[in-house]
A and B are shown apart, each in its own frame.
Chain A
Amino acid sequence: MTEIKRYIKLYWEFVKNCTARELEFRMNFFIRTIVYVGWASLTYIGIFLIYGQVNQIGSWDRNEMLLLVTVFCIASSLFKMVFGQNFYLISNYIRKGELDPILLRPINTKFLLLTRFFKFDQIPRLIVFLLLCFKLAAEINSNISVANYIVGFIIMIVGIMGILYFTLAVFCFVFWKPRAWNIWEITNTVRDLAEKPIDVYPKSIIAVFYIIPLAAYAMIPTLILMGQATLLQVVLAVGSPIFFYLISKFVWKEGLKQYESASS
């Protein structure tokens, strides 16, 4: 219990430190918020344009698709806010051989690496998406209750943790190929697959979306809000992060054996 308290306290210090830093560059923060909104608008405009030509994609109508994208954006904002920037730094540390000062610190290495930098600038975007999510979910499912939101949120957190371990496992590739600095492109692209309904993909590869926890990241929370999720989907969604936790633990351990330091 003392150990958990220590980590919570430490994390709070990280958040305070990053927030103070962000407030030093307020204009930058403001511009980045506008850019994020711009990128998100691109997806929404795309949906409006596509649904100007079709009524349904798979079994999803326009509002349902908008809800899915919004839930995806909420999950992505949370992911980027807590872990996003840290991943880019991990590959840099490994590539430049600067990991050892972190390995020697008296705290869990992965905790420090994955949570050191908190992206404060995701908060405005997160608030916008949450409001949009409440509006769309209420429009689609008139019987929606607080329980739908709570269960949906829990499953989303499970999905985020799964994507976290998946991303970590893939990032460990840099231990073997240090020049592959853009490995984040693969994990981001795979994560972006969750923005589309899984039932549009060929049946032969749908299992992949449960193994890599893409379903839990956005689609199952959306189905829960719509009141359409099945128990099997929820059970499968919860299993996957455990699998990737074990994989990432193994790959990290093996990867560290490959690591070469650059410091004296």
Chain B
Amino acid sequence: MSFRASLRKYSQTFALSFASIAVEKEVMIIWCISGVINLFAVTAVLLSADTSVLGGYTKPELIGYYILVFFVGQIINWFCYWDVSGVIYDGSVINFIIKPFSFFKKILVGELAWKIANILIYIFALLIIYAVLGGNISLSISGTVALKLVPVLIIGSAITFLMHFLLGSIAFYLTETQFLIDFYFIFSQLLGGAIVPLSFFPEKFMPFLNLTPFRYTFSLPAEIAFSRISDGQYWMALVAGLAWIAFLGLGCRLVWVNGIKKFSAYGQ
């Protein structure tokens, strides 16, 4: 199939997903409102702490950290686990096996449309947050930092997507996989720096924290934005992130291809 035909096919998928957003706008707004409420709660706790510097961050920096994590989360988070495991459990994955239509690309493009709309809503939310908390926030991102952030966000996004896809594909082998995604969320929140910055952890845990893929999701963008890593460490982090993408990509392929081989369903 030509590249043009392929592009047309997936751009149609994108357009369809984008159109469905108009129907589900309340859902997106509700997620956003919940995120903002959480952010205000965290801010209130931080401002009432009895020390001015926590884990190497001043209070305004820490509030900036959580705002960044709040926004970065919309860029890097994917939720395709449910789509992938859903089509496997209900057998509709067969539609993708026998048609010239990549399920992987369909999920990617479909969720991308949601992500773009979501980011627009969150930009609006950020404006409100800045209007309310402005004086308490220390977060400024220069052009150089923004450029550095682009590959990091792409890497974080790819890691999260592949993790979801991998965990969803395990549905080929197990009848219950929800617990896997639950554990994934627990570890990604804690070890990714969404609950507290990784600098809050005792020093002896740092080598382990740097090894996990979760650091490349929330923490690394924040470390760059607050100049917590040197240029050398930045390049090392990019290489490590890419290695994780390669590893997870390979894992997805193996699990999916072998899963398809053992998959059985009623004809449709």
Chain A positions within 8 Å of B, measured between CB atoms, are: 27-28, 31-32, 34-35, 38-39, 41-42, 45-46, 49-50, 52-58, 177, 179-183, 185-186, 188-190, 192-193, 196, 199-202
Contact = CB atoms under 8 A, between A and B. Distances in A.
Given A56-B50, A186-B33, A46 B195 contact: yes
Interface in B149-195: 176, 179, 182-183, 186, 189-190, 195
B54 A53 contact: yes
Given A179-B24, A185-B34, A193-B37, A201 B44 contact: yes
A41 B189 CA distance: 12
B55 A53 contact: yes
B50 A55 contact: yes
Contacts of B5: none
A193 B49 contact: no
A98 B62 CA distance: 47
Given A179-B27, A180-B27, A183-B30, A42 B190 contact: yes
Given A42-B189, A50-B196, A180 B26 contact: yes
A58 B196 contact: no
A27 B175 CA distance: 11
Given A179-B24, A193-B41, A39 B186 contact: yes
B12 interface: no
B200 A34 contact: no
A152 to B, nearest CB: 23
B173 to A, nearest CB: 15
B268 interface: no
Contacts of B23: 179
A54 B48 CA distance: 10
Interface in B25-67: 26-27, 30-31, 33-34, 37-38, 41, 44-45, 47-51, 54-55
A57 B49 contact: yes
The 6 A-B residue pairs with the shortest CB-CB distance, nearest first, are A200-B48, A53-B54, A189-B34, A180-B26, A49-B200, A54-B49
Given A35-B182, A35-B183, A42-B186, A53 B41 contact: no
A182 B50 contact: no
Interface of A is mostly: helix
A193 to B, nearest CB: 6
Nearest to A28: B176
Contacts of A34: 179
19 contacts: A46-B190, A49-B200, A50-B49, A50-B200, A53-B49, A53-B54, A55-B51, A57-B48, A58-B48, A179-B24, A179-B27, A180-B27, A180-B30, A182-B27, A188-B34, A189-B37, A190-B37, A200-B45, A201-B41
Contacts of B38: 189, 192
B35 to A, nearest CB: 8
B177 to A, nearest CB: 10
Given A35-B182, A39-B186, A182 B30 contact: yes
A35 B51 CA distance: 34
A170 to B, nearest CB: 11
A260 to B, nearest CB: 17
Contacts of B33: 186, 189
Nearest to A35: B182
A180 B31 CA distance: 10
Nearest to A52: B200
A177 to B, nearest CB: 5
Given A57-B45, A57-B49, A46 B196 contact: yes
A199 B44 CA distance: 9
Nearest to B35: A189
Given A55-B50, A200-B48, A202-B44, A185 B195 contact: no
